[in-house]
Amino acid sequence: MKISSIPQFYRNVKRWTEILAVLSKYGLADWLSQLNIDFVKDQLKAPAGEALARQSRSARIRLALAELGPTFIKLGQLLSTRTDLIGVELAEELKSLQSSAPADPPDVVREIVESELGQPIDELFAEFDDTAIASASIGQVHRARLKTGESVAVKVQHAGIDSIVREDLDVLAGLAMLAEKIPEFAPYRPTATVAEMARTLRRELDFGREERNLMQFSALLADNPHVRIPQSYDELCTPRVLTMEWIEGIKFSESSRLAAEGYDLEEIARRGVDLYLEMIFNFGFYHADPHPGNILILPGNVISLIDFGMVGRIDEGLREDIEEMLLSIVNRDTPMLTALIMRIGQTPPGLDERALANDVADFVGSYAGQSLAQFDLAGALNDMVEMVRRYHIILPTPVSMLIKVLVTLEGSSRILCPSFSLMEAMQPFQRKMFLRRLSPARQFRKMRRMMVEVEQLASILPRRITEILDQIQAGKFDVHLDHRGLGPSVNRLVLGMLASALFLGSSLMLSREVTPVLFPVGTYFGMHRLSLLGLAGCTLSILLGLRLLWAIGKSGHLDQRD
């Protein structure tokens, strides 16, 4: 831990204590779950009364995050998108984390709105309902009516939530620094992962960013008659208050109600999937939380998206790699899929590429016999993520988020139409992908980027070469070598040399009967006049040798062959 972080640690010591107490309780429950004593398992309980030791490990993690408060709930929801880090089972469990929180009192809400917008509520709205219709971990939503008559939803940030999140993120950063020291956690880069999720969480605290997302989606989908995006009211929006159009519709998840009111469920599923595929593969900017509760159905089978706090962006290069990956799964191209996984993901040192290729071949073979109409894309993506996780390959966040969106999208579509196939819906987009690859506009953009890079290289290369030649001529050219992994080997070599030298020196002292001696008079068990210093040195050298052999054996390189 850095010295600069010590004041921060003491400032958050109370929160540290609370978090460690909760983690200790759930860790003890994990240990108790392995015992075969029923009455002991019922001693530790969650706030809702569940016996912790009788829950699965994934459920205990979810309950612990829920008990730790809003920041950790959001952390769990963000982790649910990183199946490459935590696995499919835990990710599915964390999806059920609910961001519910008590609503702030009406006087607190009014004070926040008035301080943010600079006017009394009665002057801003014709009506303002003090009772929140929903309250999540970050903010709560109130229904209101403007002076001009439009119904609006006003999203207000909870009082003090920014300081709570900041304090919890400081504690999480400290926990991540400790986790970096544990070999089992180090491959998952805890510090980088927490920093990345902290950036995402801080973005959610800025309602101004959500307003900009609303405006961007409205512009992109303005020509689509089957989609409706809520309109935001810029003059009534700040980083802590978001005012947008109130949309009345039926939730995507209420399939029975939609069927009873005469909606075409198959058409709605197809339009929803087409909308998301257009956002992903045409715009590279998409609504990243296609939960059934965030999709409303309006008359005429019109789809409305709400809650734009979480969005995904993918650049053109990554989008092409993802397209190639999906096409490789469909076309059963094992070498291409293996190469793409290694190119997109961050591979660990010493990756067994041959074993990975074999597993990819098995993966492709297990889905080779499925027709497009019955292709289980969600199962295929989940199996691929589990395979990648076994090899400690870390996927970029945009890829993990996109996989989660596609899996959720297929599941949501099958709520309305059980026979719906996402792979069949992707067929037209696959043809568009192929044509876009061959388009002159794309080739021109690539050539232009290459020309810019070549021009930059041509401008700096002569100067760099001149600098290197000047350093060589002046005798100041240095080559710095980084011997990775050489430290432990050198330490063992030095320890072995010390043990050998100590043994030889001690043997000489024994043979020369260097004083002080043991058994100076008479013979005991055939021994007499043993040098105490020599005997101590021999004993110590033998212990050092055994310690060295244990260390080499533990590393697995005692007699291992390449």
> Residues with catalytic annotation?
289
Residue of 220, 248, 215 whose CA lies nearest to 231: 215
Are the C-beta atoms of 544 and 498 separated by less than 8 Å? yes
Are the C-beta atoms of 347 and 339 separated by less than 8 Å? no
Q: What CA–CA distance (Å, rounded) separates 448 from 143?
A: 50
The CA angle 187-193-196, to the nearest 5 degrees, is: 155
Phi-psi region of 189 (alpha: psi -120 to 50; beta: other; left: phi over 0): left
Instruction: State whether residue 34 is helix, strand or coil.
Output: coil
Residue 15 identity (one-letter amino acid)? R
Residue of 369, 367, 351, 405 whose CA lies nearest to 95: 405
CA dihedral 60, 62, 64, 70 (to 10 degrees): -170
Q: What CA–CA distance (Å, rounded) separates 264 from 9?
A: 57
| Cross-strand bridge partners of residue 245 | 152
Alpha carbon distances (Å) from 202 to 8, 103, 175, 196, 397: 19, 21, 19, 10, 16
With 0-12 CB in 10 A as exposed, 13-18 as middle and 19+ as buried, what is 148? exposed
Sign of dihedral through CA atoms 532, 538, 539, 541? Answer: positive
Residue owning tokens 């999140």: 165
Are the C-beta atoms of 146 and 152 separated by less than 8 Å? yes
Alpha carbon distances (Å) from 235 to 32, 117, 119, 243: 56, 8, 12, 9
With 0-12 CB in 10 A as exposed, 13-18 as middle and 19+ as buried, what is 361? middle
Q: What is the CA radius of gyration of the chain?
A: 32
Tokens of 352: 């067994």
Q: Helices 161-180 & 190-204, crossing angle to 10 degrees?
A: 170
